């Protein structure tokens, strides 16, 4: 099978590429390296077992001719390219909206032209600011005002979901929509704000751990290999067509407890530094207080749900960052 992965040099995209190569597929990657990196995929290109099976195009998904060619060649498309991380959204609001909305529109248009099955990577951000748990795909969506730019990410991804669903309804296009919950693992960088690589790096340097707000906000982290398994199974599942499905992990933890756990696991002498949100992100910021997935639907559709413990995930990330 020929698989096209947009954002294939990114953190999740590169793990997905690796798994498809291991399975024997040909992998086509398009990535503009805005947040992705050749370091994530060079070892795949250099692996003799994958010779003539990995094709990398450094280009934007907004390049019509390139997307026309790649979509035409491949059998299925994973659309993983997106503006990544809260920091990126706040630093480059316009670019982020254009990438997320126009990029996805273009991919869907191409997939519809060639009738190629496509998986759209959406995000748990789409749910907005709920306090209940777990979040179920049919839940209402609650956002803050448009002055708080964080919500532009959620709104743009929600528009991507609607556009994909509309293609399914109108054109019968086979779309699969996944809402990813805080994916973590080796190759993730802390450069765009992601909390676990940041905390682990700080702990290993015995520097203060920067907890934003009062640290009572919670997240549920998902191991990247589990995410890749879920994406591949959803791509293969007839029942997932035209559906929105959560992909998330199992252990809810507050950010303060996460900081303590990482200090403990690394044997660090770091202290914990509470930083007010407006100092970290400016005054127009609003955090999500709680984010816990229901994976009942994922399990029903694929027979699989992520099950890696937070201890396991952290041990993998610590080993990776130490090795760098
Ligand atoms: N966070 C933090 N310190 C950091 C980076 C992030 O306290 O150095 C917090 C952030 O405010 C959020 C949580 O950790 O409450 C998860 O942040 P991340 O950017 O990893 O993901 P998201 O906000 O998209 O869930």
Q: Which residues pair with 84 in a beta bridge?
A: none
Task: Tell me the C-alpha distance between 296 and 294, whole Å.
Answer: 6
The answer to whether position 255 is within a domain reads no
The answer to whether position 280 is within a domain reads no
Catalytic residue among 78, 153, 192, 223: 153
- 208 within 8 A of 273, measured Cβ to Cβ: yes
| pLDDT of res. 65 | 96
The answer to whether position 193 is within a domain reads no
The answer to whether position 108 is within a domain reads yes
The answer to whether position 205 is within a domain reads no
210 in ligand 1 pocket by Cβ < 6 Å?
yes
Q: What is the pTM of this model?
A: 0.97
123 in ligand 1 pocket by Cβ < 6 Å?
no
* DSSP H helical ranges for the chain: 11-23, 42-45, 64-73, 86-91, 93-114, 150-171, 195-204, 224-236, 255-266, 277-281, 296-302, 310-323
- 6 within 8 A of 61, measured Cβ to Cβ: yes
Cα pseudo-dihedral 130, 136, 138, 141, rounded to 10 = 20
* For ligand 1, atom 16: residue with the closest CA: 195
User: Beta strand pairing status for 2-6 and 26-31?
Assistant: parallel
Host domain of residue 10:
2-183+224-248+292-307
| pLDDT of res. 48 | 98
Rounded distance from Cα 193 to ligand 1 centre (Å): 7
Task: Tell me the C-alpha distance between 13 and 306, whole Å.
Answer: 17
60 in ligand 1 pocket by Cβ < 6 Å?
no
Instruction: List all residues 6 or more positions away from 46 whose beta carbon is below 8 Å from its beta carbon.
Output: none
CATH of the domain at 297: 3.40.50.720
Cα pseudo-dihedral 95, 98, 104, 108, rounded to 10 = -150
User: Beta strand pairing status for 218-220 and 252-254?
Assistant: antiparallel
Whether 192 is catalytic: no
Number of other residues whose CB lies within 10 A of the CB of residue 22? 12
211 in ligand 1 pocket by Cβ < 6 Å?
yes
Rounded distance from Cα 194 to ligand 1 centre (Å): 6
The answer to whether position 269 is within a domain reads no
Kindly state the helix (H) or strand (E) to which residue 79 belongs, with its residue range. Answer: strand 76-79
Q: What is the pLDDT along the chain (324 residues), one digit of tens a residue?
A: 999 999 999 999 999 999 999 999 999 999 999 999 999 999 999 999 999 999 999 999 999 999 999 999 999 999 999 988 888 888 999 999 999 999 999 999 999 999 999 999 999 999 999 999 999 999 999 999 999 989 999 999 999 999 999 999 999 999 999 999 999 999 999 888 899 999 999 999 999 999 999 999 999 999 999 999 999 999 999 999 999 999 999 999 999 999 999 999 999 999 999 999 999 988 878 999 999 999 999 999 999 999 999 999 999 999 999 998
The answer to whether position 142 is within a domain reads yes
Ligand 1 atom with the shortest distance to the CA of 217: 15
| pLDDT of res. 137 | 98
Kindly state the helix (H) or strand (E) to which residue 239 belongs, with its residue range. Answer: none
Instruction: List all residues 6 or more positions away from 243 whose beta carbon is below 8 Å from its beta carbon.
Output: 137, 176, 177, 297, 301
DSSP string, 147-169: TSTHHHHHHHHHHHHHHHHHHHH
The answer to whether position 215 is within a domain reads no
Number of domains in the chain: 1
| pLDDT of res. 310 | 98
Burial label, 132 (beta-carbon count in 10 A; 0-12, 13-18, 19+): exposed
Q: Name the 3-class secondary structure at 214.
A: coil
Task: Tell me the C-alpha distance between 294 and 178, whole Å.
Answer: 13
Q: Whats the size of the chain, residue-wise? A: 324
């Amino acid at each position: 099978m020929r698989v096209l992965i947009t954002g294939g040099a990114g953190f999740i995209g590169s793990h997905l590429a690796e798994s498809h190569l291991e399975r024997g597929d040909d992998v086509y990657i398009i990535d503009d390296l805005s947040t992705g990196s050749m370091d994530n995929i060079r070892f795949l290109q250099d692996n003799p077992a994958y010779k003539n099976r990995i094709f990398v195009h450094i280009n934007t998904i907004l390049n019509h001719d390139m997307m026309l060619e790649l979509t035409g060649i491949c059998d299925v498309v994973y659309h993983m390219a997106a503006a990544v991380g809260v920091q990126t959204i706040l630093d480059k609001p316009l670019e982020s909206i254009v990438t997320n909305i126009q990029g996805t529109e273009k991919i869907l248009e191409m997939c519809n032209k060639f009738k190629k099955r496509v998986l759209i990577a959406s995000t748990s951000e789409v749910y907005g600011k709920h306090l209940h748990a777990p979040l179920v795909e049919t839940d209402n969506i609650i956002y803050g005002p448009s002055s708080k730019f964080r919500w532009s990410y959620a709104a743009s991804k929600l528009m991507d979901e609607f556009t994909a669903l509309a293609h399914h309804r109108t054109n019968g296009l086979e779309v699969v929509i996944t809402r990813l919950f805080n994916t973590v693992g080796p190759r993730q960088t802390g450069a765009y704000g992601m909390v676990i690589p940041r905390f682990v790096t700080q702990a290993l340097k015995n520097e203060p751990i920067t907890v934003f707000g009062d640290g009572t906000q919670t997240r549920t982290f998902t191991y990247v290999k589990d995410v890749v398994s879920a994406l591949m199974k959803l791509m293969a599942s007839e029942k997932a067509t035209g559906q929105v499905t959560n992909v998330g992990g199992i252990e809810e933890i507050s950010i303060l407890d996460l900081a303590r756990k990482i200090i403990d696991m690394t044997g660090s002498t770091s202290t914990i530094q509470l930083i007010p949100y407006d100092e970290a992100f400016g005054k127009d910021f609003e955090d999500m207080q709680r984010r816990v997935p229901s994976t009942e639907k994922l399990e029903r559709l694929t027979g699989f749900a992520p099950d890696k413990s937070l201890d396991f995930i952290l041990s993998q990330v610590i080993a990776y960052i130490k090795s760098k």
